[in-house]
A and B are shown apart, each in its own frame.
Chain A
Amino acid sequence: MKFIDDIDKDPLIAGPLTAVVRRWSSTDDSDDAGFRRQMKDYHRTLKRRMFFIFCCVIIMVLAAGYAVAYGPLDISFMDTYITIWNHITGNITDTGMDYIIVTVRSPRIVAGIIGGIGLAICGVVMQSVLRNPLADPYTTGVSSGAGFGATIAITFGFAVANSSATVILAFLFSLLPTLSIVLMSRHKSAASPTVMIMFGIGLMYIFNALTTVLMLWSSPEDLAAVYQWQVGSLAKVDWDDIPYMMAVVIPGAIIIQLLSGKLNVLATGDDNAKALGLNPHQMRVILLALTGLISAAVVSFTGIIGFVGLVTPHIVRIFIGADNRYLIPASALFGGMLMVVADLIGRSIIPDATLPVGVVMAFIGGPTFIWLLLRKGSKAW
């Protein structure tokens, strides 16, 4: 039937429908009970998310305080905070206490928080960008690259000559996988997210094989050093390292948070992203490069810490949903919290021995994660 300018005169369109269409197209935003209800529900959801983030911060601060207080020399919980406060305000009263708390014990806590934040953000972004629940710094090859770099430094003796050689080599090699994924993606057939992650897994195997070869040829002392590096620990980080980690992780996290709305678009698939006005390829390259840098900056100082990047996003999604605008900050804080708590447990659970943070994380996190999965079903992914 011919085009009819006035929808009221179109016999094909039911009367009530014309009213609905008019209401939709009118700019008159008169108060509507339905809309108010929707806003109320949405604000309730937002409050719940804020509460989750708030809880993570509180637990992180408390755990950090306790972690600093815990050690061979017993320092009370309150004294810890007072000493830190005095250090920040420049009003140091007890230099001995200040030395123990700020110089000796704090770096590993701060490194844990930054590392947790960095790795968790990488996990969220890699999973959304590659549209794959198994994406993390490990499956994209970043960790294996770092491991290979560190192994070279240790087995070839660079680490003895220069103490920062391990970090530098680990950093450079951990950039290789993301860099090659990005370069490969210029090639048309390698541009799909699935190909990218499979490419990452391929690289992971190659690097692991190379590392194994080097380990087979190395001396027992070197082997032990390599092995220790591979399980990942916060113990070797000191204050000199932290500015480097921060310089990458913090700006990276801010940029990623600014892009989080676009990440939501990208996560709906390439066709949708294009239709919604986003260049998916460009966005994916930017985000992968950023996460590559962030995870390299963390992993090269701490060694390979698995689990945080992979599992934090999944746990947080169960609580607050998959909207990246909230998922990213919440995962970051949850990741930071998880690292501090796991490290604390690792130091305290067995007297006179320290379990590396990665091991603890897998021990506690693994079963918890499985329990959450079985309990909540797989709604969010």
Chain B
Amino acid sequence: MGIGELLLELKSVFKEDEEVLNNGPAEIVMKDVSFGYDEDRPVISDINITISDPGLYCIVGPNGVGKSTLIKCMCKILNISKGEVLINGRNIKEMKHKDVAKYIGYVPVSTGDVFSMSVLETILVGCQNKNDSDESKMRAVYKSMSLMNIVDLSGKNFNELSAGQHQKVAIARGLVQRPKILILDEPTANLDVKYQVYVTELLRALAEHEKMIVLMISHDLNTSAKYAHKVIMMAKPGVIHQIGDPEEVITKENVEKVYGVHCKIIQDDDYGVPIVVLGQSMMDEDGNIEVDPGMFLLEELENGKGSREINSKVLGRIGQRIQGRSEEGTGEQEHQR
């Protein structure tokens, strides 16, 4: 790389972009999105979603189904291999990270840093895109800290905190960006029961009051069913099984099919939301706990009642997989373990 090129890159770091954020409501559209670390093994495939209404969206699904990958593709942390992601009609491939960050706040599953700053400074990093005065940045940080109830920790070193406190700091940093779209990767992981409820309740309130789109990954079906406006259920092999109101998505059929756990659904009398009571896990005759949901989907197709979210391409691939499995025999079983 020549000096000239380096100077150009340096200039682009300092250069201010034209204002991209319009004041209208935000919208995320994913069209035929696929992503894979390897070419031939996609983690998520043929994702089609449009999220245009504000609200709290809970993404649920078993481990390794591509939930984190999906949200990372939405905010350009991962570059999708196929399809396109549009934010307010703009393709994120053509947007700089800086522009994407003006719309989207992303809260990762938080861990300690190699070199850690104080909590206050860690959250202040979330303001780096803004051209506000230091005073107003500090005020924004203070507001977000009080929202997460961590004002007392402000002077502490980030690495001294517990995992739950890390999580709260990470959420506060996401909030300080004041994004139109907030995306959280398991925000309630590591939190105690009180804060699990508090955070989910808070995210619902923010979505309603600020007219934000809040997307969160959750493993708690009951909290999701209670607080989410919409639930996005993902299933193997990296597809969206169903999107809809909680009572439509969190059903006995879906939970058993997607997670492979026996359950019954009862109705919460106070709020009219479904409550999942989990039963035994499903196993196949060899004692493998992983039940391939692809099998269920295929059975469904054979019985002629395939759900509308499963498009033909995916089914084609599931078919290939199952064929491949019967050819490979034990190889696939080892992989499952």
Query: Taking beta carbons and an 8 Å cutoff, which residues of A are in contact with B?
Result: 1-7, 10-14, 17-18, 20-25, 29, 32, 34-35, 38-39, 41-42, 45, 127-128, 131-133, 182-183, 255, 258-259, 261-262, 264-265, 267-269, 271-279, 282-283, 285-286, 289, 317, 321-323, 379-381
Contacts and interface: CB of A to CB of B under 8 A. Distances in A.
Interface string B144-167: 111100010011010110000000
A7 B208 contact: yes
A168 to B, nearest CB: 18
Q: 10 closest Cβ contacts across the A-B interface? A: A277-B101, A275-B106, A322-B115, A277-B98, A131-B114, A277-B129, A35-B142, A21-B205, A381-B115, A274-B77
Contacts of B97: 273-274, 277-279
Contacts of B245: 2
Q: Which has the most chain B C-beta neighbours within 10 Å: A42, A268, A321?
A: A268
B128 A262 contact: yes
Contact of A286 (B6, B147, B155, B206): B6
16 contacts: A1-B273, A3-B53, A12-B227, A13-B208, A17-B202, A21-B209, A24-B144, A29-B136, A34-B142, A38-B154, A131-B114, A261-B128, A276-B177, A285-B9, A379-B160, A380-B115
A285 B139 CA distance: 33
Interface string B194-216: 00001001101111111000000
B273 A38 contact: no
A16 to B, nearest CB: 11
- Counting chain B residues whose Cβ lies within 8 A of the other chain, the interface size class is 35 or more
B264 interface: no
A248 B34 CA distance: 46
B141 to A, nearest CB: 8
A272 B126 CA distance: 10
B105 A275 contact: yes
Contacts of B177: 276
Contacts, number: 187
Q: Which has the most chain B C-beta neighbours within 10 Å: A183, A255, A379?
A: A379
Nearest to B104: A275
Interface of B: 1, 6, 9-10, 12-14, 53-55, 72, 75-77, 96-102, 104-106, 108, 113-118, 120-122, 125-126, 128-129, 136, 138-139, 142-147, 151, 154-155, 157, 159-160, 175, 177, 198, 201-202, 204-210, 226-227, 229, 245-246, 270-273
B128 to A, nearest CB: 6
Given A1-B273, A183-B1, A268 B125 contact: yes
Contacts of B201: 12-14, 17
Contact of B115 (A10, A21, A127, A271): A127
Contacts of A271: 72, 77, 106, 108
B66 to A, nearest CB: 16
B140 to A, nearest CB: 10
A13 B205 contact: yes
B206 A21 contact: yes
Contacts of A3: 53-55, 207-208, 229
A211 B82 CA distance: 49
Q: Which has the most chain B C-beta neighbours within 10 Å: A13, A127, A277?
A: A277
Nearest to A279: B97
Contacts of B96: 277, 279
Contacts of A127: 115
B229 A2 contact: yes
A35 B270 CA distance: 39
A321 B114 contact: no
B131 to A, nearest CB: 12
Given A42-B120, A42-B138, A182 B125 contact: no
Contact of B6 (A39, A41, A131, A289): A289
Given A12-B201, A274-B97, A322-B115, 20 more contacts: A1-B273, A2-B229, A2-B245, A3-B54, A14-B201, A25-B209, A29-B139, A32-B142, A38-B138, A38-B142, A38-B145, A38-B151, A133-B115, A259-B13, A265-B128, A274-B76, A277-B102, A277-B128, A285-B9, A289-B6
Contacts of B1: 182-183, 285, 289
B9 A282 contact: yes
A38 B120 contact: yes
B116 A381 contact: yes
Contacts of A261: 128
